[in-house]
Amino acid sequence: MVELKEGEEMMEDDQRRVVLVVNKTIGLGPAMNAAAHAALGFGASRELADRLELNLLDYMDGSGGIHPHISALSLVVLQARPAQLQKLRDCAMAEGLPCVSFTDTMTKGTYLDQLERTRRTLPDQLVYYAVLVLGTRLQLDPLTRRFSLFGVQKDPAAMLS
């Protein structure tokens, strides 16, 4: 685990950060499912050197309870259209940035059904639900600057009550 000294922040342009971009055309449930799968897959796929760069910390609460493995890195959640997600993934892969994606073929049925459906689907036919990328601000900003912060659309009628 990496320890930060009190008041120490890591926000330089060359500091690593995580960006998770979710498909803005799908519902909240599928978006959260895709985000969770992408994050789990990303964390599990990292080599030791990458895991160290994630600056995973143990947070201790007031009773001494430990909340382990929370990254000190900035993690920004954005939203974009499916075509933008595909382009983000393609660009990240071309630049050699660590990247995990989750697509429409990875839902419904068993994991065996999902594996087969994904195997049969050509890349340009995949509908991306989430893409997670690790890189520096200088690497990621050009790829994500047109995306907006993730937000849930509020029902105007519910806001009146």
CATH number for position 87: 3.40.1490.10
CA distance 22 to 84: 10
Indicate whether 10 belongs to any domain: no
Given a cut of 60, whether residue 67 has pLDDT beyond it is yes
The answer to whether residue 74 scores a pLDDT higher than 70 is yes
pLDDT in tens, 81-126: 999 999 999 999 999 999 999 999 999 999 999 999 999 999 999 9
Report the number of distinct structural domains present in the chain. Answer: 1
Q: Does some domain include residue 3?
A: no
Nearest partner of 143 among 104, 102, 96, judged by Cα:
96
pTM of the model: 0.83
- Tally helices (H) and strands (E) across the chain: 6, 7
Residue recorded with tokens 């969770």: 36
For residue 81, give its domain range: 16-151
Residue 114 tokens read as 């999902």
Domain assignment of residue 137, yes or no:
yes
27: number of Cβ within 10 Å:
9
Q: Which residues make Cβ contacts (< 8 Å) with residue 94, sequence separation at least 6?
A: none
40 inside domain: yes
Residue 79: the pLDDT is: 97
